[in-house]
Amino acid sequence: MTRFKQYNILDADFVAQKLQDFFQEDHIDNDITTNTTQNEKTVVAQLIAREELVFAGVQIIQQGFINCTVSCNIKDGDPLQPGDLIASIEGPINDILKKERVVLNLIQRLCGIASITKKLSSITKKHNIELLDTRKTTPGLRMFEKFAVAIGGGTNHRFSLQDAVMIKDNHLKGNPDIIEIVSKAKASNPNKDIQVEVDTKEQLDIALQSEANSILLDNFNPKHLIEVVKYIRGHNTGKTKYIEISGGITAETLAQFCIAGIDGISMGALTHNIQSKDIGLDI
Catalytic annotation on 101? Answer: yes
The pLDDT tens digits of the residues spanning 36-70 come to 999 999 999 999 999 999 999 999 999 999 999 99
Catalytic annotation on 168? Answer: yes
Question: pTM value?
Answer: 0.96
Q: Which domains does the chain have, with CATH numbers?
A: 12-115+275-282 (3.90.1170.20), 122-272 (3.20.20.70)
Report how far residue 92's alpha carbon sits from residue 83's, in angstroms, rounded to the nearest whole number: 24
Q: Of 119, 135, 136, 186, which residue is the catalytic one?
A: 136
Per the DSSP assignment, residues forming a β-bridge with 264 are 130, 244
Tell me the CA distances in angstroms from 36 to 32, 222, 246, one per residue in order: 6, 61, 53
The pLDDT tens digits of the residues spanning 105-138 come to 999 999 999 999 999 999 999 999 999 999 999 9
Q: Of 5, 11, 101, 177, which residue is the catalytic one?
A: 101
Report how far residue 212's alpha carbon sits from residue 234's, in angstroms, rounded to the nearest whole number: 16
Report how far residue 268's alpha carbon sits from residue 81's, in angstroms, rounded to the nearest whole number: 27
- The pLDDT, as a whole number, for residue 155 is 98
- Cα 84 from chain centre: 25
Q: Of 218, 230, 233, 278, which residue is the catalytic one?
A: 218
- Residue length, the chain? 283
Q: Of 50, 135, 168, 230, which residue is the catalytic one?
A: 168
Catalytic annotation on 211? Answer: no
Residue 196 has pLDDT above 90, yes or no: yes
**279, 248, 277, 283: which is closest to 265 by C-alpha?**
248
- The pLDDT, as a whole number, for residue 1 is 79
- The pLDDT, as a whole number, for residue 82 is 98
- The pLDDT, as a whole number, for residue 135 is 96
Q: Of 95, 130, 197, 263, which residue is the catalytic one?
A: 197
